């Protein structure tokens, strides 16, 4: 789509548009015209749906929350049911390697996220571990040590790409840290919208101990989460924080005492996801889009992005249903339309 060149806000918005398209999020289309200096820029439909069935075969979750899954996979994808319908859980399951990123795990994550990002039935995604005491220990160093120098860069790029894909999911994402999250494991959590942790969890970007730097977005997302100075301190020192310390610096939103089952953070994440379920699905997606894109530009441009995103909700059936439900004093029945 052609647009007249303009400095400042328009340039920032155009850059934001490019990021949206690259992320597989809402392309600009013919439905909405922005005001003022951004006239001519348009925001189209937020999501185009493509269905994806959960893994078939296998056993139900040991805690009874989910549909069937494959029990031998390094990544377990669960579509929760009944009152939790709309919540999807990505469970990392590499106990022998502390859930570290292997080539196979990265491939499985990418495949799962590719399906989730266009599934309109998905309302919230929780990323957790199926292994007690471990979230993700980062890269699989035993696999890494066998790689040649020429292989390392492309593999790190694949890890970065899949973490970016998770960050760009159009629905809310929650990382449940019930154990160790180091290096790429913490970078995975940083890519999620919300992080909750058990007080016993340990987390840090420790790459400088290995004479490298965070390569999965840590140098960019950690400063955005806790501020530049403190992020530098943590990365320079390779310091590891527990759940309480992480909460104190704003790295996680909630911290809980670990329970006997070892899943306190996951249970809190599930509670949060349940709070999200009653809200309008289209509104949730464009709210995330507005926040994410607005944080990358100046305030004036950000307000224009908000206005464009708000306009996406006006013609929806869900908006009319919300008004009708309010009038009739009942709970709305949203369909994501």
The 10s digit of each residue's pLDDT in 240-264 is: 999 999 999 999 999 999 999 999 9
Torsion over CA: 30, 35, 40, 42 (sign): negative
CA dihedral of residues 124, 294, 265, 215 (deg, nearest 10): 110
Q: Residue 158's pLDDT is what?
A: 92
Per residue in 117-153, pLDDT (tens digit) is: 889 899 999 999 999 999 999 888 788 878 888 888 8
The answer to whether the beta carbons of residues 56 and 73 sit under 8 Å apart is no
pLDDT at 22 over 90: no
Distance of CA 76 to the CA centre of its chain: 17
Per residue in 72-104, pLDDT (tens digit) is: 589 999 999 999 999 999 999 999 999 999 889
Q: Is 176 a catalytic residue?
A: no
Q: Is 262 a catalytic residue?
A: no
The answer to whether the beta carbons of residues 163 and 205 sit under 8 Å apart is no
> How far is it, in rounded angstroms, from Cα 246 to Cα 199?
9
The active-site residue out of 74, 130, 165, 207 is: 207
The active-site residue out of 184, 280, 294, 322 is: 184
Fold for the domain defined by 75-277: 2-enoyl-CoA Hydratase; Chain A, domain 1 (3.90.226)
The answer to whether the beta carbons of residues 162 and 113 sit under 8 Å apart is yes
Q: Is 207 a catalytic residue?
A: yes
Residue 5 banded pLDDT, cuts 50, 70, 90: very low
Residue 307 three-state SS: helix
> How far is it, in rounded angstroms, from Cα 96 to Cα 82?
33
Q: Residue 72's pLDDT is what?
A: 52
pLDDT at 64 over 90: no
Least confident of 43-52, 125-134, 191-200, 275-284: 43-52
The model's pTM is: 0.79
Identify which has the larger pLDDT, 193 or 337. Answer: 193
3 beta partners: none
Residues belonging to the chain: 337
Q: Where along the chain do the CATH 1.10.12.10 domains lie?
A: 281-328
pLDDT at 155 over 90: no
Q: Where along the chain do the CATH 3.90.226.10 domains lie?
A: 75-277
Residue 67 banded pLDDT, cuts 50, 70, 90: low
The answer to whether the beta carbons of residues 267 and 81 sit under 8 Å apart is no
> What letter would DSSP give residue 144?
H
Packing angle between helix 299-313 and helix 9-22, nearest 10 degrees? 50
Whole-Å CA distances, 316 to 23, 25, 305, 321: 24, 18, 18, 9
Residue 127's nearest CA partner among 169, 67, 157, 71 is 169
Residue 66 banded pLDDT, cuts 50, 70, 90: low
Identify which has the larger pLDDT, 9 or 148. Answer: 148
Whole-Å CA distances, 321 to 66, 285, 324: 29, 17, 5
Residue carrying the six token digits 């005492």 = 257
Identify which has the larger pLDDT, 181 or 1. Answer: 181
The active-site residue out of 74, 130, 187, 245 is: 187
The active-site residue out of 139, 201, 231, 283 is: 139
242 beta partners: 202
Percentage with pLDDT > 70 across the chain:
79
pLDDT at 41 over 70: no
Residue 127 CB contacts under 8 Å (≥ 6 apart), including other chains: 90, 92, 166, 173, 174, 175, 176, 188, 189, 192
Fold for the domain defined by 281-328: Lyase 2-enoyl-coa Hydratase; Chain  A, domain 2 (1.10.12)
pLDDT at 206 over 50: yes
Q: Residue 305's pLDDT is what?
A: 96
Q: Is 139 a catalytic residue?
A: yes
Residue 113 in tokens:
């996220």
- For the chain, the average pLDDT equals 82
- What would the mean pLDDT of 158-164 be, rounded to a whole number? 94
Residue carrying the six token digits 């805690």 = 63
pLDDT at 61 over 60: no
Residue 116 in tokens:
């989730």
- What would the mean pLDDT of 23-40 be, rounded to a whole number? 36
């Amino acid at each position: 789509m052609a647009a007249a060149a303009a400095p400042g806000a328009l340039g920032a918005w155009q850059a934001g548009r490019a990021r949206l398209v690259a992320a597989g999020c809402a392309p600009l289309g013919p439905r909405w015209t922005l005001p003022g200096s951004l006239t001519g820029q348009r925001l189209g439909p937020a999501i185009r749906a493509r269905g994806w069935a959960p893994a078939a075969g296998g056993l139900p979750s040991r805690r009874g929350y989910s549909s069937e899954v494959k029990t031998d996979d390094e990544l377990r994808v669960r579509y929760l049911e009944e009152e939790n319908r709309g919540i999807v859980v990505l469970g990392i399951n590499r106990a022998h390697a502390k859930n570290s990123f292997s080539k196979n795990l990265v491939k499985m994550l990418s495949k799962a996220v590719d399906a989730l990002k266009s599934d309109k039935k998905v309302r919230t995604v929780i990323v957790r571990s199926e292994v007690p005491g471990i979230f993700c220990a980062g890269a699989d160093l035993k696999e890494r040590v066998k790689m040649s120098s020429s292989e390392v860069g492309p593999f790190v790029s694949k890890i970065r790409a899949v973490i970016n894909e998770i960050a760009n999911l159009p629905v809310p994402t929650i990382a449940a840290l019930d154990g160790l999250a180091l290096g790429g494991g913490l970078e995975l959590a940083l890519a999620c919208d919300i992080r909750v942790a058990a007080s016993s969890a340990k987390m840090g970007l420790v790459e400088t101990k290995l004479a490298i730097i965070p390569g999965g977005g840590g140098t960019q997302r950690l400063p955005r989460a806790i501020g530049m100075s403190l992020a530098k301190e943590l990365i320079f020192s390779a310091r590891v924080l527990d759940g309480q310390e992480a909460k104190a610096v704003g790295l996680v939103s909630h911290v809980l005492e670990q329970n006997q089952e070892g899943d306190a953070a996951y249970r809190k994440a599930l509670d949060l996801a349940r709070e999200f379920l009653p809200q309008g699905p289209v509104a949730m997606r464009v709210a995330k889009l507005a926040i994410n894109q607005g944080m990358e530009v100046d305030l004036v441009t950000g307000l224009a992005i908000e206005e464009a995103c708000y306009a996406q909700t006006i013609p929806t059936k869900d908006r009319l249903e919300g008004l009708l439900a309010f009038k009739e004093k009942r709970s709305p029945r949203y369909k994501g339309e």
